[in-house]
Amino acid sequence: MGPHARASITQHQLYAKVVEAMLFKSGVTLGSGKKGFGSSALQVNKKILYHSLSPEEQAKTAIFCDNYGEAAAVDFFGGRYGLPKAISGHQSYFFWGPRNYTGEIVIVVGQNEKDLRNEFESVTVAATQSNPYAFWYETQPILLCRGLKWNLQTGWQRVKHWR
């Protein structure tokens, strides 16, 4: 196996761990009992935030990711956890649109809590992220937001960003 094949496997394993860390209320625990990344014996021991909601709430809950990498990780690995496809305004993910979500309930990954308090009626920090190897903007808290003050269907253009 060449170095590129090995790197892509490592990247996929990392993305799986990122999704698990992003969507679990209190992080993940490794086989050694330490929290963090880097073990193939990843053992999830916390309830997924999405599944802590009632079935009625889950049906209208979007998972909004700030960047396409996070959104793709949710889409690729989230199925094993019964998660819906993510939405994102980043790059070409914007073209998938808001799906059937209005913004009534949104799990937000990768955005600033202070900024979102202006956009939603309620914002709760559901989990924090910590990774010494990540950029500061990749460790924003996971937020459970309710009551978007504008309709996601009609205002989708507002979330588009190409940085």
- Ranges 11-25, 29-43, 105-119, 135-149: which has the least confidence: 29-43
Contact 109, 73 (CB under 8 A): no
- Rounded-to-integer distance, Cα 148 and Cα 38, Å: 36
**Interval 114-122 mean pLDDT:** 96
Q: Return the number of other C-beta atoms located less than 10 Å from residue 156's C-beta.
A: 16
Q: Parallel, antiparallel, or unpaired for β 105-109 and 61-65?
A: parallel
Q: Is residue 147 scored above 60 in pLDDT?
A: yes
Q: Return the number of other C-beta atoms located less than 10 Å from residue 38's C-beta.
A: 12
Contact 159, 89 (CB under 8 A): yes
The residues that bridge with 39 in the sheet, in sequence order, are none
Task: Please state, rounded to an integer, the average pLDDT across all residues of the chain.
Answer: 76
Q: Is residue 35 scored above 70 in pLDDT?
A: no
Contact 80, 44 (CB under 8 A): no
- Rounded-to-integer distance, Cα 10 and Cα 134, Å: 16
Q: Is residue 16 scored above 80 in pLDDT?
A: no
Q: Is residue 43 scored above 70 in pLDDT?
A: no
Q: Parallel, antiparallel, or unpaired for β 61-65 and 120-127?
A: unpaired
Contact 93, 39 (CB under 8 A): no
The pLDDT, as a whole number, for residue 141 is: 82
Q: In Å, what is the CA distance from 160 to each residue of 75, 101, 152?
A: 19, 16, 12
The pLDDT, as a whole number, for residue 13 is: 54
Domain ranges of the chain: 48-159
Q: In Å, what is the CA distance from 24 to each residue of 43, 65, 126, 157, 161?
A: 12, 15, 9, 29, 27
**Interval 72-86 mean pLDDT:** 85
pTM: 0.75
